[in-house]
Amino acid sequence: MEKGSKVYIAGHRGLVGSAIVRVLKEAGYENLLLRTSAETDLRNQAAVDALFAAEKPDYVFLAAAKVGGIYANDTYPADFIRDNLQIQTNVIDAAYRSRTKRLLFLGSSCIYPKPAPQPMPESCLLTGELEPTNEWYAIAKIAGIKMCQAYQKQYGFDAISAMPTNLYGPNDNFDLEKSHVLPALIRKFHLAKLAMAGDAEGIMEDEVRYGAIPNDVKESLGLNSGLSPKVILWGSGGPYREFLHVDDMADACLFLMNRQVVPNNLFNVGTGTDITIRAVAELVQKIVGFSGEVVWDASKPDGTPRKLMDVSRLHDLGWKARISLEDGIRAAYAHYCDQTETL
Ligand SMILES: NC(=O)C1=CN([C@@H]2O[C@H](COP(=O)(O)OP(=O)(O)OC[C@H]3O[C@@H](n4cnc5c(N)ncnc54)[C@H](OP(=O)(O)O)[C@@H]3O)[C@@H](O)[C@H]2O)C=CC1
Ligand SMILES: C[C@H]1O[C@H](OP(=O)(O)OP(=O)(O)OC[C@H]2O[C@@H](n3cnc4c(=O)[nH]c(N)nc43)[C@H](O)[C@@H]2O)[C@@H](O)[C@@H](O)C1=O
């Protein structure tokens, strides 16, 4: 990408989009096209066509999507499949028609079959059954990859796809029903620490900044009963997950946008190492500094037992993740606390 190119970051206020904006600005890209969902609802084909016809961006990072953790995916399957199919179909097609030079589509590691070999290479796409808690979202993401490949095959459109593993970092979603596990761990342990210290004002500030605390979490914190606070986590703690700091993800996106990638157009993005949910919970608990009880709620789903990415394709091109899990969580927690202190 030339420094003066017009670069559209779809989803620029989200976890990934905001990190891409930071990385682009640091690298000297200033001609950025940014639109909120209120300004341009990407599910609306006419609005997307109008935006592309007027702006004709040279490059597109497609980081706008309907996103959520295991509970949201399992509870709102129609919303996840519909919104994602609409957003990606509209944006990929409009980008092709307005002669965008390259588009990077973001998928997810959940596109791979539940029984995939570990680590999972890009070649295991469409070789088996999907994990039921997120198959609707996964099907939309698979359609996005295939749409990029089809537009490349039929029209020669340079559309490539990156499949991130589980991400975390600044501007994450901390809604305790809809979030992914890492932001949930940070918030649950932080609230429990405040409850243990009797810091009612801190809990109120947190609620103002990060949204209402669900009743079951309030109960576990003993806010009304005076009982000692407990952190309730979901499932067995046994599944493995691979976590990548979003600054590394954004760095990988810029790397892919600027590399000659032919003949491949699908790239796993991760660290290549994973950890059990129980172990990552212990790590977050240590970093936040909560010394009370942790309870595992077996009525909640575990999801897929393991989804470790094979990242050799990206390593072979010359990119590797740099931020360790412990450093990344420390930074994410510091950012989380800064956001409430500025209230
Ligand atoms: N977070 C994770 O752990 C992972 C994320 N990914 C993928 O990375 C990408 C980015 O995810 P992430 O940053 O976490 O998501 P976020 O939920 O943090 O952000 C999503 C962004 O999409 C925008 N958006 C949603 N719906 C619309 C719409 N109808 N019209 C316009 N914009 C819309 C939102 O815009 P606004 O703020 O203006 O409303 C928001 O900025 C997604 O493709 C996701 O599937 C993949 C694997 C893991
Ligand atoms: C990135 C990926 O993210 C989603 O898949 P997921 O990895 O299963 O999602 P998750 O981060 O929400 O959970 C990971 C694990 O953690 C456990 N867990 C414990 N306690 C909490 C908890 O408090 N909250 C949450 N959310 N999970 C918890 C939880 O039970 C599960 O075992 C996809 O739907 C899809 O969006 C996708 O592509």
Q: Which of 8, 59, 137, 168 is catalytic?
A: 137
- CA 164 to ligand 2: nearest atom: 1
Task: Give the per-residue pLDDT at 261.
Answer: 87
Roughly what angle, to the nearest 10 degrees, separates helices 45-55 and 77-97? Answer: 30
Ligand in nearest proximity to the CA of 15: 1
Give distance in angstroms: CA of 290 to centre of ligand 1.
30
Q: Does residue 146 sit within a domain?
A: yes
Q: Averaged over 172-187, what is the pLDDT? A: 97
Whole-angstrom distance, CA of residue 284 vs CA of residue 73: 24
Instruction: Quote the tokens at residue 198.
Output: 């009797």
Cα separation, 75 vs 134, whole angstroms: 9
Segment 113-141 shows an average pLDDT of 97
Structural domain boundaries enclosing 29: 7-171+242-273+306-323
Residue 108 lies in a domain: yes
3-state DSSP assignment of residue 163: strand
**Does the model's pTM come out above 0.90?**
yes
Domain at 123, CATH number: 3.40.50.720
> Which pLDDT score, from 0 to 100, does residue 127 have?
97
In this prediction, residue 286 carries a pLDDT of 98
Residue 336, in any domain of the structure: no
| DSSP 8-state code for residue 129 | P
Find out whether the beta carbon of 233 lies less than 6 Å from any atom of ligand 2.
Answer: yes
Query: How far apart are the C-alpha atoms of 12 and 237, rounded to whole Å?
Result: 32
Residues with CB under 6 A from ligand 1: 11, 13-17, 36-37, 41-43, 63-67, 87, 106, 108, 164, 166-167, 173, 180
Q: Is the CB of 303 under 6 A from ligand 2?
A: yes
Atom of ligand 1 nearest to the CA of 182: 3
Ligand closest to the CA atom of residue 20 = 1
Report pLDDT digits (tens) over 252-303.
999 999 998 888 899 999 999 999 999 999 999 999 999 999 999 999 999 9
- Residue 177 φ/ψ, nearest 5 degrees: -95, -35
In a domain, 162, yes or no: yes
Asked whether residue 56 is assigned to any structural domain, the reply reads: yes
Q: What is the mean pLDDT of the chain?
A: 96
Domain for residue 89, yes or no? yes
Stated length of the chain: 343
Give residue 100 CA to ligand 2 midpoint distance, Å: 34
Long-range contacts (CB closer than 8 Å, 24 or more residues apart) made by 55-58: 55/6, 55/8, 55/98, 56/6, 56/98, 56/99, 56/100, 57/6, 57/7, 57/8, 57/33, 57/95, 57/98, 57/100, 58/1, 58/2, 58/5, 58/6, 58/7, 58/100, 58/101
253 is a domain residue: yes
Is residue 137 annotated as a catalytic residue, yes or no? yes
Domains in the chain, number: 1
The answer to whether position 200 is within a domain reads: no
The ipTM, to two decimals, is 0.98
What gap in Å lies between CA 167 and CA 161, rounded to an integer? Answer: 16
How does pLDDT run across 328-343, given as a tens digit for each residue? Answer: 999 999 999 998 776 5
Verify whether ligand 2 is closer than 6 Å to residue 93 (CB atom): no
